[in-house]
Structure 1
Amino acid sequence: MSDALLLLPDFTLIVIGWLLCRHTPLNRPVWDGVERLVYYLLFPALLFSAILRHPLQPSAAASLAACGLGVVALGVTLAYAVKLWPGVDAKLHASGAQVAFRFNSYVALALAERLAGIQGVAWVALLVALCVPLCNIAAVWPLARHGGHGFWRELARNPLILSTAAGLVCNLLGIRLPELATTTLVRIGGAALPLGLMAVGAGLTFGGLKRAPWLAGAFLSIRHAILPAAAIGMSLALVMPPAQQAIVVAFAALPTASSAYVLAARMGGDGSFVAGLVTLSTLIGMAGLPLALLALRAMA
């Protein structure tokens, strides 16, 4: 399977969710419950178990970690800066800003082994552990402010942030769960991807992006043009090994996180706008990710 086709199942699940919600008895009330299940149980279980299963070795990949954090920090800065443009709708910006810097960790882990074997999986696990907390905090901040929620209260109650922090702490302390508990968490987390993507499809209204097409274009340009280009430049400037260069460029070119829609919907944002962004990001990523890797090989 080529790098482009690797994203096809994700997009197919989004289409299936849309068809089920629009053309079967599994309509909107059913998917409201699915969103809550994914947000409060399935995604947290997936994040915690994924981080805990891969021992972190920051010293062995310091340049990789610095590059990954730099890419995310740049994405957050640019996404927030978009709000300074005249005429930006505050709710749409608060909902969609996360699309510019969050990433699909499932696709990242799937690509890692193809690009760099088992070592690549360990490198991506490190990036996930370091960058997911930053991404989630940056995603919650504008939504909490726009919705009038207390930021620190939202962080303290956010299941994605809590599960990521718990996994990171347990990993660094060398804590390992019993095999039975690990297997149970892995199986619970395994349901997060298909249900999360189908929930994106169920919430999709194709007119959602029409309210601010230029804003959507700005967020997607950051995600799929500026960040991959920055990753190529940083990885070459740091003279990283070729395998690490490929991992960090692929990381920067990933489609946005499918849970972005769930977060926006659960925190009172514009779910339909974010669902459209997630779908477009998945489509763009199918072509953009392999193109970013080709650009890296041409410049290395």
Structure 2
Amino acid sequence: MQALLDVILPVFLVIGFGYVAVWKGLFPATGVDALMKFTQQFAIPCLLFSAIAKLDLSASLDARLLISFYAGAASGFFLGFAGARILFKRDWEDCVAIGFCCLFSNSVLLGLAINERAYGQEALAGAYAIIAFHSPFCYGLGITAMEIARNRGQSPLVMARGVARAMFRNALVLAIAAGFIVNLTGLVLPNVLNDALDLVIRAALPTALFALGGVLIQYKPEGDARVIAMVCAISLIAHPAITWMLGTSLSVPRDVFNPGVLTAAMAPGVNAYIFANMYGRARRVAASSVLVATAASVITAWLWLMVLG
């Protein structure tokens, strides 16, 4: 219970403040859109760029952690895809969008905030190692699957162009790539630039959490209840369970194992809706899944913290 009070609830209270502020008209919905754009296009990319640029790659990039997390994520995608097709008879494009909801956990807005409160700043290296590959992996898998579904019969070159175009328009992917370039080349950034980045970074997570609350009020859990329940079960239970089992069998070090499982246990991120909206597929399922799973993760994240000790 103490973990729920000390770690989980403060994060969700900030989300709740954003939700209530927009609901009661204390903060305009247009302002929330602007906040979300600021966090997704500027503040979070600055955070990821700075974190990757300073990350000790030799110590943090544990292959066993990445295998356990991303095997769980990919399993979530294929479980969601297969469930949508076999159980609910959705068309192929809808199946990809629903699978993406099960794939893309909220590793930044929720994952970083909860991991920091649970394990401290020094434990975030494992979370950042996951995040370094999260957007490229998830968007790469989702976009590739969607391009195959949409362009069946077309040449592989056309599909490859569609994947590359979507990937290199993503600010998170570009920021992570730039961070790796700085890290691997040993480039030293001027102090004035680091100070400016720090100012933006301090605003990133609280602003993003508040904006997430404001965004969630736009979504209504209407219809598709069984599909949404499947997405929630895969995202909040199956993905972290697979990560936990693989991480245990691979003897992932505890200091990165716990953040890895907890990151896997996060609800689908807003990017799940962005992906669905980008292709105009399963938008109601994606939006409602983000809302319902985010609310449910108050309890499931607490349970996973207890499992992890």
Report the TM range for the smaller structure's normalisation: 0.7 to 0.9
Deviation at 1:194, TM superposition (A): 3.2
Distance 2:8 2:94 in 1: 26
Deviation at 1:113, TM superposition (A): 5.6
Q: Where does residue 287 of structure 1 map in the other structure? A: 299
Q: Where does residue 125 of structure 2 map in the other structure? A: 122
- One-letter code of the match for 2:137? L
Distance 1:278 1:176 in 2: 39
Deviates more, 1:207-216 or 1:270-279: 270-279
Cα deviation per residue 1:36-70 (whole Å; 9 max; x = unaligned)?
A: 33332223222222222322126873322322232
Q: Percent identity?
A: 25
Deviation at 1:208, TM superposition (A): 2.7
Q: Where does residue 46 of structure 2 map in the other structure? A: 45
Q: Does 2:7 align with 1:4?
A: no
Q: Where does residue 237 of structure 1 map in the other structure? A: 249
Q: Where does residue 220 of structure 1 map in the other structure? A: 232
Distance 2:21 2:110 in 1: 24
Distance 1:125 1:253 in 2: 16
**What are the ranges of 5 or more consecutive residues in structure 1 without an aligned counterpart?**
none
Distance 1:100 1:183, change over 3 A: farther
Distance 1:159 1:240, change over 3 A: closer
1:74–1:227 CA contact under 8 A, matched in 2: yes
Deviation at 1:110, TM superposition (A): 4.5
- One-letter code of the match for 2:260? V
* Matched ranges for 1:24-35 at <5 A: 24=25, 26-35=27-36
Deviation at 1:222, TM superposition (A): 1.0
2:52–2:183 CA contact under 8 A, matched in 1: yes
Q: Where does residue 80 of structure 1 map in the other structure? A: 81
- One-letter code of the match for 1:203? V
1:106–1:193 CA contact under 8 A, matched in 2: yes
Aligned length: 297
Distance 1:153 1:59, change over 3 A: closer
- What is the root-mean-square deviation of aligned Cα atoms in Å? 3.6
Q: Where does residue 68 of structure 1 map in the other structure? A: 69
Deviation at 1:180, TM superposition (A): 2.0
Deviation at 1:96, TM superposition (A): 5.0
Q: Where does residue 102 of structure 2 map in the other structure? A: 100
Q: Does 2:158 align with 1:177?
A: no
1:197–1:258 CA contact under 8 A, matched in 2: no
Distance 1:244 1:152, change over 3 A: closer
Deviation at 1:134, TM superposition (A): 0.9
Deviation at 1:262, TM superposition (A): 5.5
Q: Where does residue 155 of structure 2 map in the other structure? A: none
1:78–1:222 CA contact under 8 A, matched in 2: yes
Distance 1:28 1:251, change over 3 A: closer
Deviates more, 1:230-239 or 1:92-101: 92-101
Q: Does 2:19 align with 1:18?
A: yes
TM-score with structure 2 setting the length: 0.77
Deviation at 1:143, TM superposition (A): 7.2
Cα deviation per residue 1:173-204 (whole Å; 9 max; x = unaligned)?
A: 33342222123223223333333333333333
- One-letter code of the match for 2:132? A
